[in-house]
Structure 1
Amino acid sequence: MASSTKLSSLILFFACSLFIQGTLASIICEKLPASLCSFAIGSSGKRCVLENFKNEEGNLGYTCKTSEVVVEKLVGYIETDQCVSACGVDRDSVGISSDAFLTPEFTGSLCSSACYQNCPNIVDLYFNLAAGEGVFLPLLCEKHKSSPHRAMLELMSSSGGAAAVGPTDYDVEAPAPAPF
């Protein structure tokens, strides 16, 4: 009798896991609830973005749209709540800004091992955002660990059109980016 119960539980678990995998395999940004939109990647490989709009009553509402930004890895992926928390990001934010790097708390969360080593989607997004500002995220994280305020000062000086922060700017060896 006990083995029959175990077998039934195993079959139920297997059936549920197939259902969940089938459900998650097809992510269409426009069908995602606003609460899951940010930090999701559709089955098309394009990032989902949260946008706001005013409804007929003039109230602010949110909708999920497909962006033109393609992510070659992590197709059909929704970031976990644990990663959102560990990385210090907010699913309710509309758009992202490199200004977040100017706060030591955000950079500390993003560079923490809980985020940097375990949340490839968020790290990839902010890696690319930092690169657009001429900053190499692994070096920013390395500097932040030793001197958060100095890292912020160097970030501000590099973002204003000055030379990009790169491996020759520091006497430290650049850590390898997080595996994706």
Structure 2
Amino acid sequence: MATATATRMDYCKLLAFNSTIASFEEDCYFSLKLAVSMDDRHVSSRTLSMASFRFPLALFLSSLFLHAALAEIVCEELPNDLCAFTVSSSGKRCLLETYANQNGAVEYQCRTSEVFVDKMADYIETDACVKACGVDRNSVGISSDSLLEPQFTAKLCSPACYQNCPNIVDLYFNLAAGEGAFLPDLCEAARYNPHRSMIQLMSSGAAPGPAAPETASLIAAPAPAPM
């Protein structure tokens, strides 16, 4: 009986290792000790009821936390306000799209794009980077149009964004490359003449237009941070 009890308690430790519930191991031990003493007629009905409730509840909650920790990011399962700038488990970018429902009203949905991100997966952009880079989580599609806005380019090229938010920088580096421009050059020009950097991008072929889901098909190496 002692050996069996020790084995069960090792099992409790194993379960507790994967649990975020502080009292999980204690509850497990409590239930096992009670099970060992079931032949003892001194166990009260109240104690038995408490054990039958505490351990299954702890086990159930632990399984939920473990499932969440191992869950993959699937674009189609994300809420709309977490869609843009997220990289799925497959390494593809998520994008927010619009569609007309049966009543003709415009609704949003998160979808998996064909834009692959090198060496990055299972990533949801932080609020700090969204703010530092001046991007909008509600932006629809993937487009280089924002690079035509001097205020946006200034934020994107700022040290707070460029040196700390590789996911967003990688996206716009490749969007600029798709238009024949080099993001570090745009950032350098933006430091001295924001309008010139915008003209440089426009002369390379970019022009304002509707958001294009598959604009950034070219994947390039991360650019060096601007000086």
Q: TM-score range by the shorter chain?
A: 0.7 to 0.9
Decide which of 155, 168, 176 is 1:130's aligned counterpart: 176
Alpha-carbon distance between aligned partners in 2 of 1:70 and 1:21, rounded to the nearest angstrom = 26
Normalising by the residue count of structure 1, what TM-score does the alignment of the two structures yield?
0.74
> 1:113-167 CA deviation, whole Å, 9 max, x = no partner?
111111111111100000011111011111111221222222222336xxxxxxx
> 1:12-59 CA deviation, whole Å, 9 max, x = no partner?
xx827x948953751011110011000001101111111111222222
Normalising by the residue count of structure 2, what TM-score does the alignment of the two structures yield?
0.60
Equivalent residues of 1:30, 1:63 under 8 A apart: yes
Look up the SS of the partner of 1:64 in the other structure.
strand
Instruction: Tell me, yes or no, if structure 1 residue 15 matches structure 2 residue 53.
Output: no
Alpha-carbon distance between aligned partners in 2 of 1:20 and 1:177, rounded to the nearest angstrom = 38
Q: Which runs of 5+ in 1 are unaligned?
A: 1-10, 161-174
Range 34-43 or range 57-66, more displaced: 57-66
Instruction: Please give the root-mean-square deviation of Cα atoms over the aligned residues, in Å.
Output: 2.6
The equivalent residue for 1:34 is: 80
Mapping of residues 90-101 of structure 1, within 5 Å: 90-101=136-147
Give structure 1 regions of 4+ aligned residues with deviation exceeding 4 angstroms. Answer: 18-22
**Compared with structure 1, are the counterparts of its residues 24 and 112 closer, same or farther at alpha carbon in structure 2 (3 Å cutoff)?**
farther
Q: Which runs of 5+ in 2 are unaligned?
A: 1-15, 22-61, 207-221
> What percentage of aligned pairs have identical amino acids?
63
**Corresponding pairs, count:** 152
Decide which of 46, 49, 52 is 2:95's aligned counterpart: 49
Alpha-carbon distance between aligned partners in 2 of 1:73 and 1:43, rounded to the nearest angstrom = 11
Alpha-carbon distance between aligned partners in 1 of 2:139 and 2:175, rounded to the nearest angstrom = 15
* Structure whose alpha-carbon radius of gyration is higher: 2
Alpha-carbon distance between aligned partners in 1 of 2:223 and 2:181, rounded to the nearest angstrom = 15
Alpha-carbon distance between aligned partners in 2 of 1:20 and 1:105, rounded to the nearest angstrom = 43
**Aligned-partner residue type, residue 109 of structure 1:** K
**Compared with structure 1, are the counterparts of its residues 38 and 24 closer, same or farther at alpha carbon in structure 2 (3 Å cutoff)?**
farther
Alpha-carbon distance between aligned partners in 2 of 1:34 and 1:149, rounded to the nearest angstrom = 33
Alpha-carbon distance between aligned partners in 2 of 1:70 and 1:99, rounded to the nearest angstrom = 20
